[in-house]
Amino acid sequence: MSEKAKSAQDDKVLAVVATIPLVGLIMFYAMSDASDFVKHYAKQSTGLFAIWIVSFVIAIVPIVGWLVSCVLSLVVLIGWILLVIKALSGEKYSLPVVSEYLDKYMK
């Protein structure tokens, strides 16, 4: 296997690990030598982590909050699965709505 192919494979593996929400946040700031591909997925997972935190806060409100929290949690789960699939395929994918804010605040 060539060095370039091995590096691309390593980037895919690191990108999949970076999709784990809290791990992605740590990787984004701690791994200064990570590729743009890995940092992109770390940034996307940080957005999912923020949505997940919001869903927990909203769950404090009875009934309506619980329903909204369930929907947000489902969105986070689907988004995470989508990120893992796209990272494994080597494709750079941005979450709809969330990625605009992430690009703005995480540099």
User: d(Cα 70, Cα 58) in Å, to the nearest integer?
Assistant: 10
Distances (CA, A) of 42 to 52, 78, 104: 15, 16, 15
In the prediction, which pLDDT does 25 show? 87
Q: What is the DSSP string of 47-72?
A: HHHHHHHHHHHHTTSTTHHHHHHHHH
29 phi-psi bin (left φ>0, alpha ψ -120 to 50, beta other) = alpha
Share of residues in the chain with pLDDT > 70 (%): 93
In the prediction, which pLDDT does 105 show? 82
Q: Per residue in 45-72, pLDDT tens? A: 999 999 999 999 998 989 999 999 999 9
Residue 107 scores a pLDDT above 80: no
In the prediction, which pLDDT does 2 show? 63
